[in-house]
Structure 1
Amino acid sequence: MLRWLAPTLLLLLALALTLPVLSLGASWLQFDAVARDVLSQMAQTVLPEYALTTLLLCVSVAVGVAVVGMTTASAVTLFDFPGRRLFEWALLLPLAMPAYVVAYAYTDFLQFSGPLQVGLREGFGLSGRVFPEIRNTPGAVWVFTFSLYPYVYLLARTALAERAAQLMEAARLLGAPLARRIREVALPLARPAVAAGVALALMETLADFGVASYFGIQTFTAGIYKAWLSMDNRLAAAQLATVLLATVALLLWLERRAQHRMRFASLRGQRAGSAEAQPVRLRGGRAVLAVVACGLPILFGFVLPVLFMLRPLIGGWDELPWTMFVQWSRNSVWLAGLSAALATFIALALAFALRARPGVVTRGVVQLASLGYAVPGAVIVVGILLPVGWVQMVRPETSVGYFVTATALGIVWAYLVRFTAVALQSVQSGYARIPGSLDDSARMLGTTGAGLAARVHWPLLKRSTAAALLLVFVDVMKELPATLVLRPFNSDTLAVVTYQLARDERLGEAALPALTLVLVGLVPVILLSRTLRAR
């Protein structure tokens, strides 16, 4: 085991996981007169629209998820009202809904030919469009807000539960009214958590392709695919991907800075806190307001999209493509299972290497692997295909392009770049609960290397490993941008066919794979809610 984890092999692993980003940087080495003309044309035509639309979308989503997430977190943490225990875990349900599934569900129900507008026109004798078109930037803001607010809710709820209750109780004893306690105690303490949650939500927004493409919004991600697949301009796609990656890197830095402030504030709060304070009991109109504030996000982000998808599913049950559905499911499960197993194995190897030999090389490789989740799928696609194109131009007789684009190699590679960080985080959390004294005792008894990992660490890491497998499996099942381009021939997945059927306005047929993805996504949400209730 230790020989396999030699520094040279660790560096090769780091190179494989960071090659997409490195190739984007290398693309700028080809910056010549032609590249300058391409960049100049983009700056005069599409780049301002991409930048303005992406900025408007991100600002609107940031405000939306901050308001919804902070409101719901404050309600269930600081107050007691009917249904509070139910809302504590139900507010996590939108995490199971991919944003593009929510977009398809609302479009099917609210479009001109949808059941709502048809019913209103027939019932009230109206003509024309009753509601405005949902497939635009405001519609995308609605979808992202109610799909991604749980990031803010989860972090803000944790922060408030750890620190705010005791300090608000102290403020109450000093005579501060409720409104002032919320404004001057709870909200400032939760600010770093809200900032971290907003950064995570914006990274998901920037990485999205399904909603932007389906709604016809000209974001950077949609522009990358258009430049590569429609315009066949690899250089333009690489330049757009670099801009997107720089924006995501900025958000990642802001998120980590906010997380650092959260940890600092949490330690101070724990030292200052005493006995656990009880939430404020709400009655009458205030209780109703709290129920409405917590119920509407669940309604808009989970309940209504599921009901909208169930309607065409039940209505066309006999016409559903069950044979193809089995094949799509098999492809999805196979790719997700293989990727989850490889990502978890790499995570276990890296975590053990960091535990056994915490040197500069090992730390650097682990940090590089940890950054993959922040890289959007569109950037990974461009970063993988660029070096493949260079190799094909230099050595046309090679089969590199075939193995990357026509087999599972390319898509699994993209999954590992994207989701190894998810498995690594889970495995490292398991290692954090194993005291170093166990390693010292095992070495004194003559157990080292692979024996130490197998006989001492593995029995204590089984739950963390299972969690890593589950999380990567679910993320791969729902992943769309990289899968859409790099999947092998005749290997459509549930995510891809959901997108393709919805794009072709066959939303009734898209309901079955879409709801299957929702059911798969519910598994980690249920486990997460159980973990939170156990605290």
Structure 2
Amino acid sequence: YGPVQTLLRAIFGWESALDYWFPNIRSLWGAIAILALVSYPYVYLLARLAFLEQGICTLEASRSLGCNPWQSFSRVALPLARPAIAAGLALVMMETLNDFGTVQYFGVNTFTTGIYSTWFGFGERQGATQLAAFLMIFVFLLVVLERWSRRQAKFYQSSSPQQNLPRYQLRGLRAIGALAFCLFPFLLGFLVPASYLLYLTVSYAQEVKNNNFFQLASHSLILSFLTAAIALVIGLILVYGQRLSRQPLTSFAVRVTSMGYAIPGSVIAVGVLIPAGNFDNWLAGWWERIWGVNIGLLLSGTIAVLVYAYLVRFLAVAIGSLEGSLGKIKPTLDDAARSLGKTPTQILWQVHT
């Protein structure tokens, strides 16, 4: 029913699916393709930053030892970027496990659809909560397993990344293949859906205007900037605190804080609203008994609760990117700064940032 098959039927005169073969989009492989196309930026952005931060001296040393460009990439550059790539993969994994709309639209039964079915279909809120808790434990074990696999691998940069790396000029079929390979995910993952959404927006411009579009957009922007700023501050405190203490308990707390990304959004909403509502009711009752005034609900339905729910959901993104960047800085740099009389806060702002 989409524009691709409609166009094919119009061009070739096909009348039904019996006249031609087309891959079954609403299937497990179709959902995998869509989730991969929309989630690859998690890995791409962190990996790109990791590669840009690598010093040229390390790669030149590998070339002087007889490595060709591919061997330098696989043996040196890729292991150096592994922490950032692992952080991106963890985000993709949690995003996929949390996704509900895509898998439901494609007719694929997953853990998340089971949580929704248990909750809304059977009315078993406790059972749905248990399934969500099990999902968090599963993601936590996968992340711990990945970190354990590289427990002895520490990669630090000892040279400046500002020097320009040598570029390889591709020609002919290699240039066409590289361009097509890089353009394919951008085209299908962003350009095509964004163009179609823009087309729908223009086609229904009057309806968009009548539905207070700009007011709703301003609210979304305010929430996004506010949540991003708070997530950055909290993530920086957690990651830098983990770097300072180097205790298993601190690392465990950071990992648990990142697990909210794998919880379905509705589960987070209910998990936040119920305690907030209970606290509001208790506070209102206590205030009325003491002062004789009903103050109503202070937290429920406010931007504070909404921002807190967003932080539970997206704090893992800030922690993953910050942890990947700080992990490549040598601890000896902190020791040198302390020997010069710098406090941990001064080291963070004057050295790391």
Could you state the TM-score of these two structures normalised by the residue count of structure 1?
0.47
Matched-pair identity in %: 31
2:187 equivalent to 1:299: yes
What's the offset of the Cα at 1:332?
Answer: 1.8
Extract unaligned runs of 5+ from structure 1: 1-111, 173-177, 465-535
Give the letter for the 2:147 counterpart: R
Aligned in 2, Cα 1:390/1:413: closer, same or farther, shift over 3 Å? Answer: closer
Task: Report the equivalent of 1:285.
Answer: 173
Q: Shift of residue 244 of structure 1?
A: 1.4
Paired residue for 1:324, among 208, 212, 217? 212
Q: Deviation at 1:237? A: 0.8
Distance 1:438 1:187, change over 3 A: closer
- Equivalent position to 2:199, from 299, 311, 314: 311
Determine whether 1:206 maps to 2:94.
no
Give the alignment of 1:108-257 within 5 angstroms. Answer: 112=1, 114-129=2-17, 131-154=22-45, 158=50, 166-168=61-63, 170-171=65-66, 182=70, 186-189=73-76, 190=78, 193=82, 197-257=88-148
Is the 8 Å Cα contact of residues 159 and 262 (structure 1) preserved in structure 2?
Answer: no
Give the corresponding residue for 1:373: 258
Q: Provide the secondary structure at the position in 2 that maps to 1:134.
A: coil
**1:86-118 Cα shifts (integer Å, max 9, x gaps):** xxxxxxxxxxxxxxxxxxxxxxxxxx1x33333
- Separation in structure 1 between the aligned mates of residue 60 and residue 271 of structure 2, nearest angstrom: 52
Report the count of equivalent residues: 323
RMSD: 4.8
Of the three residues 397, 412, 415, the one matched with 2:307 is: 412
Gaps of 5+ in 2: 285-296
Report if the CA contact (8 A) 2:260-2:314 is conserved: no
Aligned-pair CA distance for 1:221: 1.8
After TM superposition, list the pairs within 5 Å mapping 1:53-132 onto structure 2: 112=1, 114-129=2-17, 131-132=22-23
Cα distance in 1 between the residues matched to 2:145 and 2:233: 30
Contact 1:199 1:255 in 2 (8 A): no
- In structure 2, C-alpha distance between the alignment counterparts of 1:195 and 1:426, rounded to whole Å: 10
- Look up the equivalent residue of 1:230 and give its one-letter code: G
Q: Deviations over 1:204-243 (max 9, x none)?
A: 2112233223333221122223322332212221221123
User: Structure 2 vs 1, CA of residues 168 and 239 (structure 1 numbering), >3 Å: closer, same or farther?
Assistant: farther
> C-alpha displacement at 1:290, in angstroms?
2.1
Deviations 1:311-362 (A, max 9, x none): 223333344245431232233234334434544554576678789x9596xx
* Counterpart among 311, 314, 336 of residue 224 in structure 2: 336
In 2, are the aligned partners of 1:196 and 1:258 still within 8 Å (CA)? Answer: no
